[in-house]
Amino acid sequence: QVTLRESGPALVKPTQTLTLTCTFSGFSLSTSGMCVSWIRQPPGKALEWLALIDWDDDKYYSTSLKTRLTISKDTSKNQVVLTMTNMDPVDTATYYCARIPLDSSGYFHGVDYWGQGTLVTVSS
Amino acid sequence: QSVLTQPPSVSAAPGQKVTISCSGSSSNIGNNYVSWYQQLPGTAPKLLIYDNNKRPSGIPDRFSGSKSGTSATLGITGLQTGDEADYYCGTWDSSLSASVVFGGGTKLTVL
């Protein structure tokens, strides 16, 4: 079965760089059409999409956060890593990694599997 | 401010029907598939509807989806107290900066 699990620090200080790792199983990121995405949710607020990496190593970023984000993958380890620089208290949120399978025409059908999320608090 | 617009809250009595709207534009809903997610308190979102109106395995047919133009609607019939949750719509945005976009979420209260 498909599972995804986020790992990383629960607490980071302002201006620090956050590094989160998504370890997944049940699928391969080398399969055509397969993508992994990061999505976050501040406490009591809505979902916010952050970044996506696809099977071909193409990367897409949120326009508002593009300068601070880097997404990468290690297919052999079934991992996707997200780094976010210059963390601020407003970045306090639960960070989810999720699977997004695209069809052969590249169409998005939905986020079909989500990790449990990891809460990251930004505070000095 | 979310790209897709949803009502902040809806409510209905057990057994009744409720609909949740999701409004976008031609660059997102108008030309892409819409999906819906249910987020129960303290849990990760779960895919409820994909491709505008399809249900993943295990999702009861009390949940339905539709799309018209640049808007989409989630319908829930036979409301149960266990349906109390936040519901989000999502889709792809094909503008210059391709991205996944979500609505602001709708809190469903089953009175």
B98 has a chain A CB within 8 A of its CB: yes
Contact A111, A99 (CB under 8 A): yes
For residue A107, give the chain B residue with the closest CA. Answer: B32
Of A60, A112, A116, the CB nearest to B99: A60
Is B50's CB within 8 Å of A109's CB?
yes
Backbone φ and ψ of B95, nearest 5°: -70, -175
- pLDDT number for residue A14: 97
CA distance to partner chain A, nearest, from residue B15 (Å): 27
B111 in A contact zone (CB under 8 Å): no
Nearest CA in chain B to A115: B44
Span A57-68, pLDDT tens digits: 999 999 999 999
pLDDT by residue for chain B (111 residues), tens only, comes to 889 999 999 999 999 999 999 999 999 999 999 999 999 999 999 999 999 999 999 999 999 999 999 999 999 999 999 999 999 999 999 887 789 999 999 999 998
Alpha-carbon distance A46 to nearest alpha carbon in chain B (angstroms): 5
CA–CA distance, A36 with B45 (Å, rounded to integer): 15
Which residues of chain A neighbour B50 with C-beta distances below 8 Å?
109-110, 112
The pLDDT, as a whole number, for residue B1 is 82
The Cα-based distances of A40 to A44, A49, A61, B11, B41 in angstroms read 12, 6, 13, 26, 16
The residue whose two tokens read 């998005």 is: A108
- Could you tell me if B33 lies within 8 Å of chain A, comparing CB atoms? yes
Return the half-sphere exposure (C-beta side, CA atoms, 13 A cut-off) of residue B63.
20
Q: A100: which chain B residues are within 8 Å (Cβ-Cβ)?
A: 100
